[in-house]
Amino acid sequence: MTSSESYRIPGLELIDHSFDLPLDHSRPEGRRIEIFVREVRDLDPASKDKPFLVFLQGGPGFRAPIPIQKAGWLKRALTEFRVLMYDTRGNGLSTPVDYQTLAMEGDAQAQADYLKHFRQDNIVRDAELIRAEMSPGVPWSTIGQSYGGWCTTTYLSLHPEGLKECFVFGGIPGIDRTARDIYEGTFPFVEERNRQYFEKFPMDKARLTKLAKHLQENDVRFSNGDRITPELVQLLGLKFGFAHTSEEIHFLLEEAFVKVGDQEIVSHMFKTGLQAALRFGANPIFAILHEAIYAQGAATGWACQAVQKEKYAHFENFDDFLFYGEMVFPWMFDEISELKGMKEAAEILAAYEDWPALYNKEVLSKNTVPVACAVYANDMFVNAKFSRETIEAVPNMKAFYTSEYEHCGLRVGGEHLFSRLIDLARGEVER
């Protein structure tokens, strides 16, 4: 471990830590990668002795939150913890996976073999080696947002001895659910969000039909040269899973066209806003491993596309435009420039059958670690029914079920909601 000197921003003291860890934990003497963790304390001198709380980020494919101010869930956490903002492998300041670095791995098979090491099982193994240096012999607490709950459940399976207590926000996986199960459960939620959106903004149906027709008949491109297609516009529906973001889509569509002389063309403002909303190129793990996080002993086979083609073919009718949700399709690797070089590797991963198990049901059935979960009834990303199946099967896993939030309770109600889960985990409240 190498560590920086401590430095301060208003209300917070930070220390940067870097760890040299194995790429493949079954071959600890082999290739190494760097893992970055930022330690966050409040300014109380006694904070250096507080126990650790490890933040497990959503995604997959995103870095840990950057601490800007002491607010929300972080404010509550710092009253009793030092918080570790953990950039999981492939993300942030850890050894990154992106279109530049992945190309250096070699051919498509070499790229796929490399990416097989970037799921939640190895995220947990990294965390345990970090704990051995930062908190030797002492279990720590974790807070998992969305995919961070997948990581938490794997942690409970592989190394429960490393955990004191766990808090999960919108992220308890169905431990037996396949990628196909996930999308069969997701599409009805997406259809309902579309219904709600067009009920709120009925004028956007005609706008989107007009926009889709224009994009099909004209060669309209982003500044990076990628052609804008109706399918890329459909990906804006990912925003439906968060609070107040349907309004963002509506106001973006308001400025879809601009008049230039006697012609209407797609506006620069719309193109800029759409490109900023599509983060797949900047966070490629989110695309290339999106279905792999559900894989255990079987191929995913582009499950989302299979379900869409078989049961939701009407999403391809742009005269009755519908948005997609948190979904990844193989055509994205043709249309998004940063993903194009990963297409062959993505195909190999979609066909790969020998994914190791991510959850140990026998270990989970004997769980003694207190786990408190916020489960959002209206969550478009994580099916509450599948979460409930796991919660009911795992001892000492308690849930606070709420319809107050979308998928972003930690973001919009973090201080209150985190306090609630702390009380739930410690027996101060029952639900």
Active site residues per annotation: 146, 354, 407
Pairing state between β 7-9 and 12-22: antiparallel
Question: Residue 99 carries which DSSP code?
Answer: H
Report DSSP letters for 55-69, one per residue.
Answer: EE-STTT-PPPP--S
Query: With the C-alpha atoms ordered 46, 48, 50, 55, is the resulting torsion angle positive or negative?
Result: positive
Q: How far apart are CA 320 and CA 224, in angstroms?
A: 29
304 Cβ neighbours under 8 A, 6+ residues apart:
179, 183, 291, 327, 328, 329
CB 386 within 8 A of CB 399: no
Q: How far apart are CA 266 and CA 289, in angstroms?
A: 32
Q: Record the tokens describing residue 243, joined without a space.
A: 């609070």
SS3 426: coil
CB 286 within 8 A of CB 62: yes
Q: Is the peptide bond before 60 cis (omega within 30 degrees of 0)?
A: yes
Nearest to 12 by CA among 77, 57, 87: 77
Nearest to 167 by CA among 421, 386, 354: 421
Q: How far apart are CA 223 and CA 254, in angstroms?
A: 20
Q: How far apart are CA 53 and CA 77, in angstroms?
A: 8
- Burial category of 115 from C-beta neighbours within 10 Å (exposed 0-12, middle 13-18, buried 19 and up): buried
Residue given tokens 């966050």 in the structure block:
40
395, containing H or E segment: none
First-to-final CA distance of the chain = 40
Residue given tokens 């938490």 in the structure block:
152
What are the backbone dihedrals phi and psi of residue 216, each rounded to the nearest 5 degrees, phi first?
Answer: -75, -35
